[in-house]
A = this chain, B = another copy of it.
């Protein structure tokens, strides 16, 4: 059975929300899995008690320390070896879990995942992929914040990571990869994007569709959109805020009842990030999923579902093989 280590202390409403998400997951997900709730034993047990008591396939793993949302990532990871993040990832490293999920301090999850799970050869840093909802199937945008100053080689690396993930987890056949840029012509863009375009034209195993502009991200024409982590992070947070703006405008123009109308709720559901559960941290040896600090229990449950897919599809092995091939052809 697949075993998922879940940071029970991660997120704005921990441990309540992660524990609730875990309870939902063991009850509702079609693939049976064991969930290891990682955190201070007594506190997690008390929370679980509140939510109906122990359940089959839910197990508590003690981790007495907690990394705060505002703590400096690297410092926190070094100072707190017994945090729920480090203990959860170590379970995976030791082969006692197949995946790790946290809605806690993103930087700390990234740092700890890199230090504990290590990276596949050929990668210098992991990258974070985010699912952007569209009118059709969602698009994977990456990187969304792990790498802020990117050179062309890194951008091409994101393309490889994203393509494997799109095939394995999103079930896209020959996923289309676009390079986010300020124009469609190959010679457009900043220095990194121009060079990345050239390298992607030559890259093996990537179905590169060329440059795409800001307006194309949501068109549904790409499965993966590659960009530096600065642009991706700005875009992700901007997109999340736009749904709120629309709601605010509707409320102002026609009153709050507009938001209660069934069609508005349908639209909101399509744009609901909790559907996708979390953002995969790609490049590490293993499966590590980072969730929003404000994730709902449903988002945690969906992150567990995504983690299971990643484990079943062997996405990490395939990423390792992809980069081995890439290194061999350089």
Contact = CB atoms under 8 A, between A and B. Distances in A.
Contacts of A267: 246, 249-250, 253
A246 B244 CA distance: 12
B270 A263 contact: no
Contacts of A239: 214, 238, 242
Q: Which of A148, A238, A241 counts the most B-chain CB atoms under 10 A from its CB?
A: A238
Contacts of A246: 246, 267
Nearest to A233: B182
B218 A234 contact: no
Nearest to A180: B234
Given A145-B182, A149-B191, A191-B149, A213 B237 contact: yes
A182 B234 contact: yes
Contacts of A258: 263
A189 interface: yes
A328 interface: no
Interface in A203-241: 213-219, 227-231, 233-241
B266 A238 contact: no
Contact of A241 (B149, B189, B219, B228): B219
A252 interface: yes
Nearest to A148: B190
A2 to B, nearest CB: 33
A233 B235 CA distance: 11
B234 A213 contact: yes
A240 B215 contact: yes
B214 A238 contact: yes
A214 B230 contact: no
A290 interface: no
A245 to B, nearest CB: 5
A244 to B, nearest CB: 8
A262 B180 CA distance: 36
Interface string A243-276: 0011011101110001000110011001100000
A91 interface: no
A215 B233 contact: no
Which of A214, A235, A237 gathers the greatest number of chain B CB atoms within 10 Å? A214
A189 B148 contact: yes
A179 to B, nearest CB: 11
A291 interface: no
Interface string A165-198: 0000000000000001010000001110100000
**Which 8 A-B residue pairings sit nearest by Cβ, starting from the closest?**
A214-B237, A214-B238, A254-B263, A214-B234, A253-B266, A215-B241, A215-B237, A148-B190
